[in-house]
Amino acid sequence: MSGLTKVILITSALGLAACDNVTGGNSGGTSLNGGGAGSVADETSPAYFNQEIGDRVLFVVDQSSLTTQAQGILLAQSNWLLANTDYTVTIEGHADEQGTREYNLALGARRANSAQEYLVSRGIASNRIKVVSYGKERPLEICSDESCYSQNRRAVTILTGGLTG
Amino acid sequence: MRTFLTGVLLAAALLAPATAVVAQNGPLRIEITDGVIEPLPYAVPSFIADTASASELSTQIARVIASDLSGTGLFREIPASAHISKVTDFDAQVQYADWKAVNAQALITGAVSVNGNRLTVRFRGYDVFADKELDGGGLQFTGTTDGWRRMAHKVADTIYSRITGEGGYFDSRVVYVSENGPKNDRRKRLAIMDYDGANVQFLTNSASIVLAPRFSPTGDRVLYTSYESGFPQIHVMDIGKVQRRVLSTDDGIMSFAPRFSPDGRTVVFSQSQGGNTDLFTMDINSGKLTRLTSAPSIETAPSFSPDGSQIVFESDRSGSQQLYVMAVTGGEARRISHGKGRYGTPVWSPRGDLLAFTKQNKGRFHIGVMRTDGSEERLLTASFLDEGPTWSPNGRVIMFTRETQGANGRSLLYSVDISGRNLKPVRTPDGGSDPAWSPLQN
């Protein structure tokens, strides 16, 4: 027989098992922050913080500096946190979909950090604040124009600890 | 002179200065260059079943070979309905005249036998118009029946290499992020599949966001970013055992965009602290961390050169996202992107000659390639959102993520030849993003 010159052994395909030792939901944090516990009328409630003060600030395209409006919201957040010392917070930084994945993670980190620095400058202990960036992974609004993008470029202050445990 | 060659050369003269050219007098050969190419017609009749139990696989293997070759855009199959000859004896003389009559420039014949779970594939390639076998002669692959697609890919890789003179890429895998659900509730999990979308297996469930998996140089491990702890952290998974561990454990420090060094011992990645993102390397065994950059700008998406001496990355230190190259030890970086718009996600080709990247300009996204000094930039795609290129093992094809516009936007995997030809979706059961191509399997 001519030409059958080589023999190559191919091992069988990799046996892969499903990985099942991960639990929980894929929400990756509470993007919406919900309405918050308690009554909006109760100034010490998360509901008041989220709805009356506002749990989020918005950013200009590709920017992480705080607008005047954002500073106003963060000032009110800091006053609330000074009065309600049981709470710690996690600040989530987000970007709109117009950008590459890694860059948007870094941009979200800048935005969360801007909000954190403002709160710290107003007297909130830095050990009460954690920051995390979601980049473009967790959009709130899903259309592909500026009306949605402007809502997705955000830093959201999530209340943790305190009354909600 | 073959009629086919005349046709190609004529087309070359008419259409483009730099065009695929088939060698005039030498062996059957496609020279892959930029520009227009006339696909090379070939025939791959069903392989002969040497054992009764091989009849199904003998047909399926030929179909996978055809899918591989035609999928490159460099080859065009002459369908079985046009064949004059039937190949019934693997060792009998090929009826060249019958294959010339249907203009099959190349012919692939084979025989398959199955004994228990043991599969043997013999095959030969022919240069029909030269009345002879392709250089290299017949080959035989032996393996298990459940690896039959890999055997078909190996046959196709061999034929591809013999005709193009370049390494193949069909016997390879892709790890990617499988995506489900609407944009505001997207579920992501790691998946691995053959390069052509077959044999999908999931490596994680969708409990936590996972991003940007990257193969080790030997294809046995995968780095990826997971939000399992609540913060983005780098995980490394042994894909044979589906075992994983967290690479960095500092609580509350965000780490992402990891890639292996060519020797598999070091990981380069980004870490964000105090809002600032810089590049680090970590020795994967000792955990020793080395800082590469310390600028207030964003430094991310690093990728090693194949010789391990340099790192290409993106930075906005100039005011906008651009590409830079620096030594693997850090230090001064040289900006290499100078065109209009923003550049990100650079990846060094396995050959070392090109960088693939994502470009944003005037609201559009592109996948492009450039020389490693930034010259000869060429954009291969344009869409609402293309990003995250990864190279085929032979550096000929790029796979990437394409996301469609609007509230119902979906993320899908696409591939394109580095000439910009043969743009096509890669089939996945759900949406897909962040593909990473494995090296050629052994």
- Tokens standing for residue A99: 């950008």
Note the Cα B67 to chain centre separation in Å.
15
Q: How many CB pairs under 8 A join A and B?
A: 191
Does A140 reach chain B within 8 Å, measured CB to CB? yes
Domains assigned to chain B: 42-164 (3.40.50.10070), 173-437 (2.120.10.30)
Q: What pLDDT, on a 0 to 100 scale, did the predictor assign at position A29?
A: 40
Residue A17 placed within a domain:
no
Q: Mutation test of the interface with chain B: which of A14, A96, A107, A158, choosing the one with the most B Cβ atoms within 10 A? A: A14
Residue A34 placed within a domain:
no
Are A101 and B203 within 8 A, CB to CB? Answer: no
Distance CA A100, CA A127 (A): 31
Residue A30 placed within a domain:
no
Residue A147 placed within a domain:
yes
Helix (H, G, I), strand (E, B) or coil at A140: coil
Q: What pLDDT, on a 0 to 100 scale, did the predictor assign at position B131?
A: 95
Q: Which residues of chain B lie closer than 8 angstroms to A15, CB-CB? A: 240
Please state the rounded mean pLDDT for residues B301-315: 98
- Terminal Cα-to-Cα distance of chain B (whole angstroms): 38
Does A132 reach chain B within 8 Å, measured CB to CB? yes
Residue A22 placed within a domain:
no
**Arithmetic mean of pLDDT over chain B:** 92
Into how many domains does chain A fold? Answer: 1
| pLDDT tens figures, B38-55 | 899 999 999 999 999 999
Check if the beta carbon of residue B132 is closer than 8 Å to that of residue B109: no
pLDDT over threshold 70, residue B351: yes
Nearest CA-CA distance, residue B23 and chain A, Å: 24
Q: Which residues of chain B lie closer than 8 angstroms to A106, CB-CB? A: 270, 272, 277, 298, 300
Dihedral sign computed on CA atoms, order B142, B146, B147, B153: positive
Pairing outcome for strands A87-94 and A129-135: parallel
* 8-state DSSP, B383: B
Are A2 and B138 within 8 A, CB to CB? Answer: yes
Task: Report in angstroms the alpha-carbon separations of A26 from B286, B359, B401.
Answer: 31, 30, 21
* CA contacts within 13 A on the Cβ side of B172: 26
Nearest to B259 by CA among B197, B175, B201: B175
Total Cβ atoms within 10 A of residue B286: 8
Dihedral sign computed on CA atoms, order B15, B20, B24, B30: negative
DSSP letter string over B268-324? EEEEEETTEEEEEEEETTT--EEE----SS-EEEEEE-TTSSEEEEEE-TTSS-EEE
Distance CA B275, CA A117 (A): 10
Residue A11 placed within a domain:
no
Task: Report in angstroms the alpha-carbon separations of B437 from B285, B410, B413, B442.
Answer: 24, 21, 12, 15
Q: What share of chain B is helix, strand, coil (3-state, %, to 5)?
A: 15, 40, 40
pLDDT band at B25 (very low <50, low <70, confident <90, very high): low
- Terminal Cα-to-Cα distance of chain A (whole angstroms): 78
Nearest to B355 by CA among B304, B401, B320, B403: B304
Are B301 and A100 within 8 A, CB to CB? Answer: yes
Are B208 and A14 within 8 A, CB to CB? Answer: no
Distance CA B421, CA B428 (A): 21
What are the two backbone dihedrals, phi and then psi, of residue A144, each rounded to the nearest 5 degrees? Answer: -110, 55
Residue A14 placed within a domain:
no
| pLDDT tens figures, B84-136 | 989 999 999 999 999 999 999 999 999 999 999 999 999 999 999 999 999 99
Residue A119 placed within a domain:
yes
CATH number for the domain spanning A138: value is 3.30.1330.60
Residue B310, beta-bridge partner list: B327
Nearest CA-CA distance, residue B334 and chain A, Å: 19
The whole-model pTM stands at: 0.90
Using CB atoms within 10 Å of the CB of residue B366, give its burial: 0 to 12 exposed, 13 to 18 middle, 19+ buried.
buried
Domain that holds residue A67: 56-164
Residues of chain A with pLDDT under 50: 1-32, 163-165
Please state the rounded mean pLDDT for residues B366-375: 98
| pLDDT tens figures, B124-145 | 999 999 999 999 989 999 999 9
Q: What pLDDT, on a 0 to 100 scale, did the predictor assign at position A6?
A: 39
Distance CA B342, CA B60 (A): 45
| pLDDT tens figures, A25-47 | 333 344 345 688 889 999 999 99
**DSSP H/E element including A120:** helix A101-121
Q: Mutation test of the interface with chain A: which of B132, B180, B272, choosing the one with the most A Cβ atoms within 10 A? A: B272
Q: What pLDDT, on a 0 to 100 scale, did the predictor assign at position B435?
A: 98
